[in-house]
Homo-oligomer: A and B are copies of this chain.
Amino acid sequence: MSASATASPIRPVHEDILNAAAHCFMERGYSATSIDDVARSLGATKGRIYHHYRSKADLFFDVFRHGMQMNFDVVTPIAESPRSTLEKLRDMTKTHCVAMIRTQHFQRCVWEGVELLQRGATTPEQREVLIELQAMRDNYAEIFRTVLEAAKREGIAEFESSSIALQLMFMCLNSPLFWYREREGQDASTIEHIASQCTVFALRGLGMKEELIADV
């Protein structure tokens, strides 16, 4: 069973908490966010949160898991479709980028979570969870690596180290996480337009020819 499939569906009762937590963690960061902050933004108290989650870390992990799951949900179908490498690469990158913008607060938590993963866990039971989350993240990156290396073999893309290329590609696609701000009058086409520029930048960076990128 792949790590992507281990994530249980989110019970509706948890959805409000997850959303509030994601927003708080995004605004102040994990350690600067208190459980009281999350509760306050829910119009509730700590009791509600600790009734559903055993610890602050558990809550954060669930936000991470939820964020990653949303990424799998939109990207996996493309990766598993019987289309060409070129079409997959263009579609996956663009889709990922749009997802970053649409679910920004969750994805910011995923980003910070990756840093927490690198620092390691405190308790042994947390370490178990962290290993699972790490695997989830690695599996997601692996989907892209597979397509990237296929693209290189087919002469569509051209780069030296596929690991570095992968990192750089994700940096571009994740970029809106750090400067995009929701504002009034921004509809789906605005988001599409921003994602388009990021994706074009990334695909150019991967050494793809202009004519293969034109319609992204």
Contact = CB atoms under 8 A, between A and B. Distances in A.
Interface stretch (A45-53, A77-85, A146-154, A195-203): A195-203
Interface residues of A, number: 30
Contacts of A172: 168, 171-172, 205
Nearest to A209: B210
Chain A interface mostly: helix
Interface of A: 27-32, 115, 119, 159-161, 164-165, 167-168, 171-172, 174-175, 178-179, 194, 197-198, 201-202, 204-207
A14 B121 CA distance: 32
A176 B143 CA distance: 22
Contacts of A159: 197, 201
Contact of A198 (B29, B164, B202, B206): B164
